[in-house]
Amino acid sequence: MFRHSIALAACVLSVGAGLAVAQAPKPAQPAQTAQPRSGETYLWHGELVSVDAKGILTVRARVLGDVATEVGRFNAGDRVLLTWSGLDIHAGAVRRVTKYEPGQQILDFFALPVELASRDIQNDTMSFRVRVPEAAVGAIKGMKPGGWVTVTTRHRPKGDADVIVAVTGYVKSQT
């Protein structure tokens, strides 16, 4: 009987300890950055080269690292997928250039399908073309080449038609 009492007490203590541990407050988890959801947008800036009446914007943007080597594998006029360095809603510079096939699923949040305008990398920049919505052409039509534009682009666009949301002249923040 004494052995059963000790065994029962041991079981009760084990179950009680397990419940206490399970109900104890959990240590704080490290903060995780919110991942953008598909369909949201991000901003990038580039130097205006030209915009035509059909809504084709040619722009020069900054590049990082070995992008010059990657661009050298393509010819002007080739469809490529630019991947920007970026965080949340801001893209900084092109960090990768790969081949793009129309209809290809875009998995990266900061990827942008474009036409390569020039394979020359000058002063850590490259030139490319992208179609902009008709409504956006008016906002930049009067701009002169060399001015800077801010482009709002969809994360993970579904195709070429829904890539660019808006284009405006670059306005330096007052803060």
pLDDT tens, position by position, for the chain (175 residues)? 555 555 445 544 454 444 444 444 444 443 443 443 444 899 999 999 999 888 899 999 999 988 988 998 999 999 999 999 988 889 999 999 999 998 889 888 899 999 999 987 878 899 999 999 888 888 888 899 999 999 999 988 877 777 899 898 887 766 5
Give the chain's domain count: 1
Domain assignment of residue 28, yes or no:
no
The whole domain housing 70 covers 41-169
pLDDT computed for residue 21 by the predictor: 42
- Please tell me whether the overall predicted TM-score, pTM, comes out greater than 0.75 for this model: no
Strands (E), the chain: 41-51, 56-62, 79-87, 90-99, 111-122, 125-131, 148-154, 164-169
Domain assignment of residue 35, yes or no:
no
Domain assignment of residue 27, yes or no:
no
pLDDT computed for residue 54 by the predictor: 86
pLDDT computed for residue 1 by the predictor: 53
Domain assignment of residue 9, yes or no:
no
